Amino acid sequence: MVSVKVNTLGQPLKGIQLKLNYDKDILQYQTTEYTTVGNPTNFSNNTGDYINFGSLIYSGDGLLNDNTEYKITFIPLIGIQGTLGLTSISPTDAINKDGKQLKINLN
């Protein structure tokens, strides 16, 4: 399982999209679980090599907060000795309440 927790750094976050790359020869995607507040549209799209996932609040005053978390579950297709190099994550997009794009830092 890969767990991604959002730290807004105090920004009023309305939406975020991330990309999780994975080794399709070793891992088979199962599910994405979302922990979000309010009523965002949560999404996850598996392309076979990577998964686009995130949340977007279309209307209202709701914001994504520091409790926003995504858990992406895989099934190993072969015996795994270690997890190093099986997945990597890259930022795609984040917007604030004014619709302006934010920079994403991955730690």
- Residue 50 inside a domain? The answer is yes
Task: Classify residue 33: in a domain, yes or no.
Answer: yes
Question: What pLDDT is recorded for position 107?
Answer: 66
Q: List, for residues 18-58, the tens digit of each pLDDT value.
A: 999 999 999 999 999 999 988 899 999 999 999 999 999 98
| Residue 38 DSSP one-character state | S
Q: Is 103 a domain residue?
A: no
Q: CA-CA-CA-CA torsion for 97, 61, 106, 89, nearest 10 degrees?
A: -100
- What domain range is 87 assigned to? 2-96
Q: Number of structural domains, the chain?
A: 1
In terms of average pLDDT, the best of 51-55, 97-101, 102-106 is 51-55
DSSP letters of 4-29? EE---TT--EEEEEEEEEE-TTTEEE
Show the tokens assigned to 3: 């767990």
